[in-house]
Amino acid sequence: MCITCGCSADHSHHDHSRDHHYDDGPNSHFHHHNDGSKNETKRLSIQTDVLAKNDLFARRNRRRFSDHGMFVLNLVSSPGSGKTTLLERTLNDLRVRFRSAVIEGDQQTDHDAVRIAATGAPVRQINTGAGCHLDAHMVSHAVDELSIDGLDLLFIENVGNLVCPASFDLGEQHKVAVLSVTEGEDKPLKYPHMFRAADVMLINKVDLAPHVMFDIRKCREMAWRVNPRILIFEVSALTGTGIEAWYRWIAAGVAAAKSAEPLDCSGSQMYDNRK
């Protein structure tokens, strides 16, 4: 079981049955197994080792992405937040401007990868079985299967989970938390580690806010209580509300990646949206 969360990694696999899948072999990630006999000190030692090994691969990924001038985003959320729909729209709307690719993480099925492939973007599927997060080693193998020369954007759609993905750096420039209005305004307070780890938050499905009594201002305030520097966009992947601001930020990130300059996510300049 994964020492950080208890998720089983026994049946994790990478389906190669479609051309948008890959198989990265049996040693794809660093899940250790707890037989119940180890004491707390031993468990903490293993957890530290797991994260240290992951961080090593994350640094290698980040260096590789930087060498290729790629802007890499790790999309995290609860299941059902709409991040795949948001990603589909983003890829379709930006495909003339940028060359993009996607790594899809799910416990089972290739449903999301098939949807992404329909946009024309190269996609690689990672199925984690009972595992609840991607790690940097998995991502490194997926990148091996992609043609990244000349790539501008890489989106990593993580497994739907607001707990363990917060702890695993994949080598991305930015962790982007997607929160739908159907989840309630207090999600950032309930899952502070994730919203502290993220530097961007998308409040999605804002077209539904009046129908589910979601207070957008209250949600923003709660997010800033957890992470005062988090940048917040209010969007609807369905109607396109607010989507252009999200695209402008992506474009700035691509330009920054090409020039090896960091992108400001403080919300203090052109993206200041503290209403």
The sheet that has 231-234: what strands, in order across it? 123-127, 100-106, 153-157, 71-77, 174-180, 200-204, 231-234
Which residues, other chains included, contact 19 with Cβ-Cβ below 8 Å and sequence gap of 6+?
none
CATH-assigned architecture of domain 46-258: 3-Layer(aba) Sandwich (3.40)
Question: Mean pLDDT over residues 44-49, rounded?
Answer: 65
Q: In degrees to the nearest 10, what's the CA dihedral of 60, 66, 69, 71?
A: 80
Domain assignments of the chain as residue spans, ordered by start: 46-258
Which residues, other chains included, contact 116 with Cβ-Cβ below 8 Å and sequence gap of 6+?
20, 84, 87, 88, 91, 102, 104, 123, 157
What does the radius of gyration of the chain's CA atoms come to, in whole angstroms? 18
Please give the pLDDT value at position 181.
Answer: 98
Q: With a threshold of 0.75, does the pTM exceed it?
A: yes
- Express each pLDDT in 152-209 by its tens digit: 999 999 999 999 999 999 999 999 999 999 999 999 999 999 999 999 999 999 999 9
Question: Mean pLDDT over residues 111-126, rounded?
Answer: 96
